[in-house]
Amino acid sequence: NAGVTQTPKFQVLKTGQSMTLQCAQDMNHNSMYWYRQDPGMGLRLIYYSASEGTTDKGEVPNGYNVSRLNKREFSLRLESAAPSQTSVYFCASNLRWGSTGELFFGEGSRLTVL
């Protein structure tokens, strides 16, 4: 039972480089999310996709773009990485929009921007 799979698990970038974090779920869920986790700040929503073909901004979208490639996959792209984007990134999914927020999380991707 894979659940939510994120790649890569670790990445080090230099300021200005770009990269894409990949997320895939095998639970036939409709909604997917990207959060970032920073010490003392909990988790903050970056972008979400309520259903295939839609994406919307969350609380902290600046500096990020997303693509809902298909029902299974939701990627997060950093076009020009900045040190402030050093964080742990979590992808999550739930069955459908409006299902009272029971999210299933991946194991996280730890990103360091030098």
Partner 1 sequence: AQSVTQLGSHVSVSEGALVLLRCNYSSSVPPYLFWYVQYPNQGLQLLLKYTSAATLVKGINGFEAEFKKSETSFHLTKPSAHMSDAAEYFCAVSEGNTDKLIFGTGTRLQVFP
Binding residues for partner 1, per CB under 8 A? 4, 31, 35, 40-45, 48, 50, 58, 90, 92, 94, 97-108
Q: Least distance in Å: CB of 30 to partner 1?
A: 10
Q: Least distance in Å: CB of 15 to partner 1?
A: 26
Strand-pair partners of 23: 6
Nearer to partner 1, 42 or 53 (CB): 42
Nearer to partner 1, 79 or 107 (CB): 107
Nearer to partner 1, 17 or 44 (CB): 44
The contacts of residue 17 (CB under 8 Å, 6+ apart) are 80, 81
Q: Least distance in Å: CB of 29 to partner 1?
A: 11
**Residue 45 near residue 37 (C-beta atoms within 8 A):** no
Q: Least distance in Å: CB of 9 to partner 1?
A: 9
Dihedral in degrees, nearest 10, Cα atoms 84, 38, 112, 89: -110
**Three-state DSSP class for residue 38:** strand
d(CA 105, CA 64): 19
